[in-house]
């Protein structure tokens, strides 16, 4: 899994990409950015989510959800930024993963899987 690391990469996705609102996460995505040949993920948890322990837990949950959906992405050249909402920590992992999958399915970014959760 390739990751977004630089500030300009996050800003580029925010400014030029599209926004998707889910119950537990906000997703910004950008198609085919800068000739990149693979999908890249970025994860953000602001202080609104909670203290450092809660923010790190939220980021771990989102990273794992990203790994889980990576093989099902409909396109191979996406930049995705997952932003944790405070509600993320109140839900179990399976609910968060399902919320993210449903949102990406509605946007057409994810291939349908017959036995998804």
Task: Compute how many other C-beta atoms are within 10 angstroms of the C-beta atom of residue 87.
Answer: 15
Cα–Cα distance between 111 and 71 in angstroms, integer? Answer: 9
What mean pLDDT, rounded, does the chain reach? 91
For 64-115, the pLDDT digits (tens) are 999 999 988 888 789 999 999 999 999 999 999 999 999 999 999 998 866 6
pLDDT category of residue 38 using cuts at 50, 70 and 90 = confident
Say which CATH architecture domain 2-83 belongs to: 2-Layer Sandwich (3.30)
Nearest in space to 82 (alpha carbons), one of 32, 26, 40, 3: 26
pTM summary value: 0.90
Task: Compute how many other C-beta atoms are within 10 angstroms of the C-beta atom of residue 63.
Answer: 15
Residue with the larger pLDDT of the pair 38 and 19: 19
Please report, for the chain, the start and end positions of each structural domain, with discontinuous segments joined by +.
Answer: 2-83
Please compute the mean of the pLDDT values over residues 42-68 and round it to a whole number. 96
């Amino acid at each position: 899994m390739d990751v977004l690391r630089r500030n300009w990469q996050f800003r580029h996705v925010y400014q030029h990409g599209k926004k998707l609102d889910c119950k537990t996460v906000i997703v910004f995505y950008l198609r085919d950015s800068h000739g990149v040949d693979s999908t890249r993920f970025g994860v953000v948890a602001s202080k609104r989510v909670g203290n450092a322990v809660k923010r790190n837990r939220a980021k771990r949950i989102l990273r794992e959800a990203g790994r889980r959906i990576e093989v099902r992405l409909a396109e191979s050249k996406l930049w995705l930024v997952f932003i944790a909402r405070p509600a993320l920590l109140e839900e179990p992992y399976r609910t968060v993963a399902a919320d993210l999958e449903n949102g990406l399915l509605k946007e057409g970014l994810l291939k349908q899987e017959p036995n998804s959760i």
